[in-house]
Structure 1
Amino acid sequence: MKDTARASVETLLGLCVKGRMLSLTPRVPAHWPGFEIALRLGEQRLVLQWAPGEEDAAPTHRLLAGEWLDWRSLPLDAVVRVVVGH
């Protein structure tokens, strides 16, 4: 059950981690106000934010939805704001 729940969340939120690379491509309903994912990858802790409107916490990095990022290049406790490209 745990693996099924994880797969469902990763699919809906569009989270993909492959080795040292990560990507976020949300597939959430249009009426969702946004979400935040707290991740721990090895010793690294990071927060991924996605919201169509105002930002919550001040991000340390920005990433286009669907773009890949080497999470090991981020500082500890990074806050990554994922934005929709135009």
Structure 2
Amino acid sequence: MTLPNGVAPFQIVEVRFKNGRKAFFNNQENLTLSIGDIVATEASPGHDVGVVTLTGELVRVQMKKKKVAVDSEEVKKDLQKSFSKGY
């Protein structure tokens, strides 16, 4: 989906984990992420690995549907790209 000129892309992504749990993460590092990319996230304790399931404006729609605010504590901060899909 293309955005109008001057509009920044939505910087939150949805990540699915092995047990089917999904969470939202702020892409503070402006990583180039696509659906299917594998990412590492901070967990308690250590790290967790998940797959990007939504990016861009679709995440905004999903967050609205689930009543999660952009500045909510439910939106996690630590996100790192691990591998690209296909590896």
> Which TM class, normalised by the smaller chain length?
under 0.3
Please identify which structure carries the higher helix content.
1
Higher relative CO (Cα under 8 Å, sequence separation at least 6) belongs to: 2
Per the normalisation by structure 1, the TM-score is: 0.25
Higher strand share: 1
Give TM-score scaled by structure 2 length.
0.25
